[in-house]
Amino acid sequence: MRQKALYMLDNIISFWRSLRDGEYGGFYGFMDIDLNLDKKAVKGCILNSRILWFFSEAARALGRDDLLDDARHAYRFLTERCLDREHGGVYWSVTYDGKPFDTTKHTYNQAFAVYALSAYYEACGDKDALALAEELFALIEDKCADGGGYGEAYTREFEPAGNDKLSENGVMADRTMNTLLHAFEAYSGLYRASQNPAAADKMRRILNIFETKIYNPARRRQEVFFDKNWNSLIDLTSYGHDIEASWLIEWGCSMLGDEALSGRMENICTVLAQSVYDRALRGDSLRNECERGAEDEARVWWVQAEGVVGFLNMAHKYPNRTEYRLAAEDILAFIGDKLVDKRPGSEWLSEVMPDGTHTAKRKPVVEEWKCPYHNGRMCLEILKRVKET
């Protein structure tokens, strides 16, 4: 697995380096399924934050100073173009030449900037990056937190707005599992970098919401979309988010030094991972989701990547149960055979059918959500977790 991960990681690094915009900064924002690169496409700020996170983590894990130059390039674009110096926070997107385009302020987007800036600080020691991460953390707590949890979308001036960007499946959600999960991830990254006790306090707050509002023990899943009072809006199981949460929450909990809390969360995370194993693993790959009893058979790039990490995490917890390690190996082989695009100048396909053929959507190779975050992180996690050469 390590050799496969190293090979995939090298390809991911090479591909995203090729998208570096030396004229206007950042990285190009769109490449269609036919590998046509649009150099004047809008640049998503989430995309740029995730690229900053990836190159920072890869540089640190591999001991490669050359990758820090790519991280610095992303950092400059984030700080010079994606930040709103007047009203605070990070825009949703900017134009190809760095002008504000979609000025929505989304909690999810602010959180990813915190995550990326914290990783960049750990990679290079830039105290300004950590200070900015702390500033955005405080902004989330000031502008986005409320008595029941976290709001989702806001105008440029942080007035509440419709959450069309993180609502899907025919609902408009006031709260989402997705935003809460990635706020926890961001705060965990900040706490690892800074040991800020305020970040730890908010991590515990999020875990309480996860335990009491998000996790559905009867359905062995996380609920996905909610109204403001945490009523679930749709019968939906997101296999990718469940397997991602199963290891990511344990990672954050491991920093808090609270055995009772970690024990409760580990029990929930084990149920989530086992449920995905039982319901979503079919052959050598994972289904996407199940809506109102209808299974989506598409094999989505990020779901497969998170499946590898989630099952490796289960294999570590239960070393005598070989099915988890075998599942991770099978999914990794599927990725290499069906999702890694063999065409020169490409990376991973966004989604395929179980036999490797394109889905009808023919999604682009690069867009604001398609980035080196899930697949790059999978490779880095394999290198940390798998010992054989």
Per-residue pLDDT of the chain (389 residues; tens, 9 = 90+): 999 999 999 999 999 999 999 999 999 999 999 999 999 999 999 999 999 999 999 999 999 999 999 999 999 999 999 999 999 999 999 999 999 999 999 999 999 999 999 999 999 999 999 999 999 999 999 999 999 999 999 999 999 999 999 999 999 999 999 999 999 999 999 999 999 999 999 999 999 999 999 999 999 999 999 999 999 999 999 999 999 999 999 999 999 999 999 999 999 999 999 999 999 999 999 999 999 999 999 999 999 999 999 999 999 999 999 999 999 999 999 999 999 999 999 999 999 999 999 998 889 999 999 999 999 999 999 999 998 64
Give 92-142 pLDDT, tens digit per residue. 999 999 999 999 999 999 999 999 999 999 999 999 999 999 999 999 999
Q: Is 169 left (phi over 0), alpha (psi -120 to 50) or beta?
A: left
- Contact criterion met (CB below 8 Å) for 311 and 257: no
Which of helix, strand or coil describes residue 216? strand
Return phi, psi of residue 31, to 5°: -140, 125
Give 289-305 pLDDT, tens digit per residue. 999 999 999 999 999 99
Distance, in Å, from the CA atom of 215 to the CA atom of 203, rounded to the nearest integer, reads 16
Type of residue found at 311: F
Structure tokens at 91: 């825009």
Q: The pTM is what?
A: 0.97
Give 273-293 pLDDT, tens digit per residue. 999 999 999 999 999 999 999
Strand partners, 300: 351
Residue whose entry in the numeric block shows the structure tokens 């679930």: 232
- Contact criterion met (CB below 8 Å) for 383 and 2: yes
Cα–Cα distances (Å) from 334 to 4, 27, 116, 339, 352, in that order, read: 12, 28, 29, 7, 11
Burial of 101 (0-12, 13-18, 19+ CB in 10 A): middle
For the chain, the domains span 2-385
End-to-end CA distance of the chain, in Å? 8
Distance, in Å, from the CA atom of 378 to the CA atom of 11, rounded to the nearest integer, reads 13
Which of helix, strand or coil describes residue 173? coil
Strand partners, 150: 145
Architecture of domain 2-385: Alpha/alpha barrel (1.50)
Q: Count how many residues are written for the chain.
A: 389
Structure tokens at 111: 């959180």
